[in-house]
Amino acid sequence: MEYTLFDDFITLQALLKELSIIQSGGAIKSFLTNNIVLFNGEKEERRGKKIRVGDIIELPEQNIIITLRKPDEIEIQHHLEDLAEKKRVASLVKQLNKTNKSKKKLPSKKSQSKEIKDIRPVRFPGT
């Protein structure tokens, strides 16, 4: 399996989580104690181990070999477009949240007391 690395490095924990080998970052400790992880042929037990392009991670018990590779120009372009789109969407969401927050007004005490008066138990004649 190949993993394309767009940054300078990725930690072992982040790599295993991103590849869905572990479900969460908290699961790495038990995973490392219960499984053998080889970093370039040597046993690795540090979850924060920095992995760079050209490194090989082996999980012999799962028959998984992960090779980190450098992206080509097209992949870099797509990655940059994806990052720009994520930033644009986050900005829109932030702006919408700000707008919605300013539109919400707390009800005045008068309207609150009126609402409370309207929530009275129903009385039936003869009871």
- pLDDT of 14 > 80? The answer is yes
Q: In the prediction, which pLDDT does 111 show?
A: 56
My answer on whether 42 and 92 are in the same domain is: no
My answer on whether 38 and 87 are in the same domain is: no
My answer on whether 24 and 55 are in the same domain is: yes
Would you state the structure tokens that stand for residue 88, as one six-digit string? 């644009």
Domain assignment of residue 114, yes or no: no
My answer on whether 59 and 21 are in the same domain is: yes
Domain assignment of residue 19, yes or no: yes
CATH (domain of 21): 3.10.290.10
Domain assignment of residue 52, yes or no: yes
- Structural domain span for residue 8: 2-69
Domain assignment of residue 117, yes or no: no
Count of domains for the chain: 2
My answer on whether 27 and 63 are in the same domain is: yes
My answer on whether 7 and 64 are in the same domain is: yes
- pLDDT of 41 > 70? The answer is yes
Q: In the prediction, which pLDDT does 25 show?
A: 77
pTM for the model stands at: 0.65
Domain assignment of residue 112, yes or no: no
Q: What is the pLDDT of residues 58-112, one digit of tens each?
A: 999 999 999 999 999 999 999 999 999 999 999 999 999 888 877 766 566 555 5
Residues 6+ apart with CB under 8 A from 44: 12, 37, 38, 57
